[in-house]
């Protein structure tokens, strides 16, 4: 296994080579969104300058070209997660839209009064609120799998949540706060033993490890392009064909229909049934370039390197007096949420900002996680393969400086 050539990689990301407030940028807000490699930036440029044209519609050269690229992207994404068929890959505008699509469409078909949905205490709001909205409409209810002090799901409690009313499990593959990589195979197997399908929210997983949806036997898998080095406004819903075939459409409009009349409208085949309107084909092709970039570096190399970042940052942060890391699972991505005794995270982050270090503060769209620890907010530093050990040192120095100023 080769290691990461950090210098080369950092050259691939133009944004990283800049200064803010005259300090070199240290970008540790990758959990919110990742930066884009040159290959993605240039591809988007190229489309806009040379090939832009609406897909599936025109009979002309450019339209043919764009359609080909758009569909080749779908095939690329299929291969990336090893879906069985490319009709199982639905383009959406992001993870949030993917979950909303599913909650609506699955909900219309399979959820009725009294039914139950299992989620977890560590979910992102995007994997809570769509289900709450559904439950309100259908008078169904949500059951919550708790996590322990390390940030690990309590699988025994999860097992006990199943009843004959359970219709679906929707759980983060990886938590955007605690960083926990959940035992998804176990989660899926348990659900399947009750004949309940599983949605995995892969927003924080797909960029860190190899996903094989067939091997996992997962029913639905969702993620956002912008968190895996691709553009904004595009995301994926993977679903097993048997479910997608049965589910009704979510949005209506151009492209998702076969025949429209005022008496009877028939819907298009998969995946188009779920793709209404002009697609974000620029985003789709941009995503593909990002996936190719990742593959060239090697997702296993990325994982190995990020693991080192995780361990180094854990070790160094723990040396800081009064600093508490939340989320200490043994199975964790390279993200750290933490607070410092008697210092507001926002103050620390303001000072870090001035040092050129971009972290995030707040509840990270996961208020139940904050509630678990009885806090309002934390600092989050999320590191990826273009970050360095030196940057972690700078973070630690910055925190100490802030501590000095603030305490």
Partner 1 sequence: MTINEIQDSIIEEFSIFDDWMDRYSYLIELGNELPPIDQKFKTDEYLINGCQSKVWLNAEYENGIISYTAEGDAVIVKGIVALLVKVLNNQKASEVMNVDLYFIDKIGLKENLSPTRSNGLLSMAKKMKLYALAYYTKHKEK
Ligand X SMILES: Cc1ncc(COP(=O)(O)O)c(C=O)c1O
What is the footprint of partner 1 within residues 3-22 (CB under 8 A)? 21
Binding residue (CB under 6 A) for ligand X from 224, 313, 336, 348: 224
Handedness of CA 159, 145, 226, 106 (dihedral sign): positive
Minimum distance, C-beta of residue 224 to ligand X, in the bound complex (Å): 3
Strands 198-201 and 220-224: parallel
Binding residue (CB under 6 A) for ligand X from 277, 300, 311, 393: 277
Distances (CA, A) of 405 to 217, 232, 359, 402: 52, 37, 18, 5
d(CA 196, CA 118): 10
Out of its own copies, ligand X, partner 1, none, which partner does residue 257 contact, by CB within 5 to 8 A per kind? its own copies
Cis peptide before 271 (omega within 30 of 0): yes
Structure tokens at 326: 């939340």
Minimum distance, C-beta of residue 350 to its own copies, in the bound complex (Å): 6
Minimum distance, C-beta of residue 307 to partner 1, in the bound complex (Å): 32
Question: Between residues 126 and 180, which has the closer beta carbon with respect to its own copies?
Answer: 126
Q: Does 203 bind ligand X (CB under 6 A)?
A: yes
What is the footprint of partner 1 within residues 373-402 (CB under 8 A)? 376
What is the footprint of partner 1 within residues 261-320 (CB under 8 A)? none
Alpha-helix residue ranges (DSSP H) falling in 18-60:
38-46
Out of its own copies, partner 1, ligand X, none, which partner does residue 357 contact, by CB within 5 to 8 A per kind? its own copies
Q: Does 346 bind partner 1 (CB under 8 A)?
A: yes
d(CA 299, CA 302): 5
Tokens 């033993």 correspond to what residue? 193
Binding residue (CB under 6 A) for ligand X from 233, 254, 298, 362: 254
- Taking the chain, what is the end-to-end CA distance rounded to the nearest angstrom? 45
Report whether 370 contacts 378 (CB < 8 A). yes
Binding residue (CB under 6 A) for ligand X from 124, 167, 240, 372: 124
Question: Between residues 183 and 254, which has the closer beta carbon with respect to ligand X?
Answer: 254
**Conformation bin of residue 130: beta by default, left when phi > 0, alpha when psi is -120 to 50:** alpha
Positions touching ligand X (CB under 6 A) are 94-96, 124, 126-127, 172, 176, 201, 203-204, 224, 254, 277-278, 365
């Amino acid at each position: 296994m080769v290691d990461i050539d950090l210098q080369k990689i950092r050259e691939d990301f133009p944004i990283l080579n800049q200064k803010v407030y005259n300090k070199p940028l240290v970008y540790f807000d990758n959990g919110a969104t990742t930066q884009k490699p040159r290959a993605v930036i240039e591809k988007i440029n190229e489309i806009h300058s040379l090939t832009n044209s609406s897909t599936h519609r025109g009979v002309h050269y450019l339209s043919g070209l764009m359609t080909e690229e758009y569909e080749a992207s779908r095939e690329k994404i299929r291969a990336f997660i090893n879906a069985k068929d490319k009709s199982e890959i639905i383009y959406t505008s992001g993870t949030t839209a993917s979950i909303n699509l599913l909650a609506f469409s699955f909900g219309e078909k399979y959820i009725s009064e009294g039914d139950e949905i299992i989620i977890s205490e560590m979910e992102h709001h995007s994997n809570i609120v769509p289900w709450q909205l559904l439950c309100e409409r259908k008078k169904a209810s949500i059951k919550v799998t708790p996590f322990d002090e390390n940030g690990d799901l309590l699988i025994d409690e999860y097992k006990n949540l199943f009843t004959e009313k359970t219709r679906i499990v929707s759980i983060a593959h990886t938590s955007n706060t605690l960083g926990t990589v959940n035992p998804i195979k176990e989660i899926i197997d348990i659900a399947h033993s009750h004949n309940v399908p599983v949605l995995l929210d892969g927003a924080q997983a797909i960029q860190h490890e190899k996903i094989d949806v067939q091997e996992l036997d997962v029913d639905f898998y969702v993620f956002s392009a912008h968190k895996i080095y691709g553009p904004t406004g595009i995301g994926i819903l993977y679903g097993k064909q048997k479910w997608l075939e049965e589910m009704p459409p979510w949005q209506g409009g151009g492209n998702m229909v076969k025949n429209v009349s005022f008496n009877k409208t028939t819907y298009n085949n998969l995946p188009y049934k779920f793709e209404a309107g002009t697609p974000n084909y620029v985003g789709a092709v941009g995503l593909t370039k990002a996936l190719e970039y990742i593959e060239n570096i090697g997702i296993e190399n990325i994982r190995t390197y990020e693991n080192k970042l995780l361990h180094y940052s854990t070790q160094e942060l723990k040396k800081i007096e009064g600093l508490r890391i939340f989320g200490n699972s043994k199975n964790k991505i390279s993200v750290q949420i933490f607070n410092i005794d008697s210092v507001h995270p926002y103050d620390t982050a303001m000072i870090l900002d001035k040092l050129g270090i971009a972290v995030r503060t707040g509840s990270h769209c996961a208020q139940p996680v904050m509630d678990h620890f009885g806090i309002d907010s934390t600092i989050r530093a999320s590191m990826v393969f273009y970050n360095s050990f030196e940057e972690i040192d700078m973070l630690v120095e910055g925190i100490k400086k802030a501590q000095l100023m603030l305490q």
